[in-house]
Structure 1
């Protein structure tokens, strides 16, 4: 009997705790899906001690994401990636390099 009471209490608790689906439709469009919001951010790191130098910036109007990031490579070049992403064209990236390679870079693992 105690088991039946516990099961009923758990089922009742889960039923009452379930959010009303109309709440999601009011605030997020389709149930369970959020509407994309415009945003913008950027950061950069330049650490003279370790030699790390990289950065990123990205923004969106809520439909299309535009961004770029760059990093200093171990061979002396700088790699820059400019990208665009949207629901129609997907993710498109343009990768470029500036500077000159210092030759072979050995890796120690």
Structure 2
């Protein structure tokens, strides 16, 4: 992604009285990383409204619709679409499933609460 920002100095004593207005959209659909999201936002004067969606790792889609104005501030409505699915993970017979690791001080520690 490339972003370009331009800034121009305003002459002293001159105020810009233009009404703020913009509309933008972007989206990502990457099957390799499974990154799927989009955003759509627009502003008229002091009122902003928009929506974004994110494909969560559990298979659901999170949808956030939001507004912002000088009277109510920022408000958002969040809901999920779909049903969460977690992949089945089966270890070999006799495996405890924890992963061992060595910290930078040389002390070995294990997952699943092994205290010794």
Greater helix fraction, Structure 1 or Structure 2: 1
TM-score by length of 1: 0.65
Residues 26-81 of structure 1: CA deviation (Å, up to 9, x unaligned) = x335xxxxx65110000111011111100100001122000000100001100010
Mapped contact 1:56–1:70 kept (Cα < 8 A): yes
| Aligned residue in 1 for 2:55 | 72
Give the unaligned 5+ runs of structure 1: 1-18, 30-34
Aligned length in residues = 79
Which structure has more strand as a fraction of its residues?
A: 2
1:51 paired to 2:39 = no
Could you tell me how far apart the structure 2 residues matched to 1:93 and 1:47 are? 27
TM-score by length of structure 2 reads 0.61
Distance 2:53 2:66 in 1: 12
The root-mean-square deviation of aligned C-alpha atoms, in Å, is: 2.3
